[in-house]
Chain A
Amino acid sequence: MDSVTRHMDLVCPAGSLPALKAAVDNGADAVYLGFRNATNARNFPGLNFDLDEIQQGMAYARQHSVRVLLALNTFPQPAHWSQWTSAVDEAAELGVDAVIMADPGLMRYAARQHPQLRLHLSVQGSATNRHSIRFYYEEFGIKQVVLPRVLSLSQVRQVIVAASPVEVEVFGFGSLCIMVEGRCALSSYVTGESPNTCGVCSPARAVRWEETPRGRQARLNGVLIDRYQHHEAAGYPTLCKGRFRVGDNVFYAMEEPTSLNTLDILPELMKLGVAAVKVEGRQRSPAYVAQVTRVMRAALDACYQDPDNYQPRVDWLAELDKVSEGQSHTLGALHRPWQ
């Protein structure tokens, strides 16, 4: 085996206790979850954990030697600052294996108050290069960074070489955010709420569906995001995935609904020294978590055992495409030929 190959952790989403169990039962190395409030970037109705549920989840994960990571990855404002610092204090008290954070001020608090607490820089922290990662390392001693989904493979390689001793985590599967995470205010421009400020993107309360003679229309705070003909599957009206007019054309002006899927390049990621592969989707069902975790586990194990002869199995790809947004997949920026 190549001397640089290493075991990559499989980090899976847990939007609820059943989803956590699904991830643990199907082979996750770690799960990530959030409190049921605006302290995390998936602050959706019916999702996430109260203190009691986190304790139950942690106990279950620990029984199976699975680590628990707590996402506190929104940007607190002065009026609610203490809610976020309390969340950091609770995370330290609970003894979670790491907190995933984005806000520099909150990391400053955590590093000072709880120096033993392991910090991961969230994808919402927008660290796309080695100098930025170095800043967070020197200021707060971050141990791991989740890279935004905008980097090519060669850029990921450069970051890994230079980021040491900070470990690098990349997204392996799930919905594709095409903007630099943490630097997107499209949602608040239209609805008043964004991932940074409220932990939501295109909030459900602002969504309205209409059946009209021209087709099924999806609106976000009154703004027409898309119009579907009868034969078309309607997707959730996220702003960057709508069909808009630019010049004379109406098209997916930002991105077609599709999912990121890295099954094809797992050996490359492993050889680059990626420490962990993350599955997106705390807003998805326990069935989704179970299915994706099972496939990713099988793929990672196959890749680890024999990276040179690794090939993604047809049934894995079919399984994942079934749960993909838009029922198709892409390597996203990772396959970018330029730079």
Chain B
Amino acid sequence: MKLSLGPILYYWPIDQVRAFYTQAKDWPVDIVYLGEVVCSKRRELRLLDWLKIADMLEAAGKEVVLSTLALLEAESELKALQKICDNGDFKVEANDMAAVHLINSRPFVAGPHLNIYNVSSLQLMQETGAIRWVMPVELSAKTLGELQAQRPAGLETEVFAYGHMPLAFSARCFTARAHNVPKDACELRCIEYPVGMPLQTQEDQELFLINGIQLQSGLASNLLGEVDTLRELKVDVLRLSPQLEGMPQIVTAFDAARNGKQSKAIDNLMAAGTEWCNGYWHGEAGMLNVSAVLK
């Protein structure tokens, strides 16, 4: 199984982004997804900046894929998308059918926001040029097994294996709302929240993370304990979603697990069971930690 780094979902300053990928080039990950997926107003990095990072990572032996926005409305966003699709060097991850349309049969990755829930949709993606698809976060191992049994030839499968799951997108900005400012006067305040902004119930339960126009799961999804099943299901790629803290340890743990090795990093990541969840994988509410419940 290959490991991938998903796109950075938060708004980090450019220096932090560069520092992150300078480190990442030495990590045992095979694929790196680059680019802005959440909000077109985030412009710390321009396409040229991303392409420089892409060259650096490719030179280090990584497969690089350029990710794209999940919510496209304005003409300016469509133009930016077109540029990414026409970059000529790197494959693109489509997160909206607009990207699939613009990629126009060149090889691409069908991202987690395209809503691929059945074999017919997999076939459609393969017919339009997909070489890999990313399972929607809300599907279970059982459903994945049924999809894998009939997956079209030549299509790799990637599963979101660690990180706060992207759950919803809106035209509204919840970070701006929390600051009581309208979205058009947001002043890009999400840059102050490199790990997202916690949204809790009135009983202090961690429910969601606010990340601009996106809502994420309050708990990180963690499929480290499911690596054997993922392998049996012939999953090709495990996606690790970039976190501000502890990313080297997360990568180390998954690298050890995919190679069937023991590691202190695995024990550390599996501890603190109240801080992560895996309910979707077991066909339950996503927020649950099913193994913790079973114990």
- Does the CB pair A76–B202 fall under 8 Å? no
Mark out the residues of chain B between 113 and 129 whose CB falls within 8 Å of any chain A CB in the assembled complex. 113-124, 128
CB <8 Å contact, A78 and B71: no
| Chain A residue contacts of B184, Cβ below 8 A | 336-338
B128 to chain A minimum Cβ distance, whole angstroms, is 8
State whether the Cβ of A322 lies closer than 8 Å to any Cβ in chain B. Answer: no
Q: With A and B bound together, what is the CA distance between A126 and B96 in angstroms?
A: 8
B71 touches A128 (CB 8 A): yes
- Let me know if B119 and A105 touch, CB within 8 A: yes
**Cβ distance B289 to chain A, nearest Cβ, rounded Å:** 13
The residues of B that contact A192 with a CB separation of less than 8 Å are 279, 283-286
Minimum CB–CB distance from B199 to chain A (whole Å) comes to 5
Q: Does B275 contact A (CB under 8 A)?
A: no
Q: Provide the residues of chain A in CB contact with B285, threshold 8 Å.
A: 188-192, 221
Using A185-B286, A245-B200 as known contacts, say yes or no to A78 and B119 having CB atoms under 8 A apart: yes
**Known interface pairs A105-B120, A127-B97; A75-B75 also in contact (CB < 8 Å):** no
Q: Which single member of B98, B123, B142, B207 contacts A105 (CB below 8 Å)? A: B123
CB of B224 closer than 8 Å to a CB of A: no
Q: Is A184 an interface residue (CB 8 A)?
A: yes
Establish whether residues B73 and A246, one from each chain, have CB atoms under 8 Å apart when the complex forms.
no
Main secondary structure of the interface of B (DSSP, over half): mixed
Contacts of B203 in A (CB 8 A): 224
A residues sitting closer than 8 Å to B (CB atoms) are 75-79, 81, 102-106, 108-109, 126-132, 134-136, 138-139, 150-152, 155, 158, 178-180, 182-186, 188-192, 194, 196-197, 221, 223-227, 240, 242-247, 249-250, 253-255, 333, 336-339
24 A-B residue pairs with Cβ-Cβ distance under 8 Å, sorted by A, are: A75-B115, A105-B121, A131-B78, A134-B101, A135-B101, A150-B171, A180-B171, A183-B70, A185-B136, A186-B167, A186-B168, A186-B208, A189-B217, A190-B285, A197-B117, A223-B201, A223-B205, A225-B201, A240-B168, A244-B199, A245-B202, A338-B183, A339-B74, A339-B76
The interface of chain B, by Cβ under 8 A from chain A, is 70-78, 81, 96-102, 113-124, 128, 136-139, 142-143, 146-147, 150, 165, 167-172, 174, 177-178, 183-184, 197-205, 207-208, 210, 215, 217, 279-280, 283-287
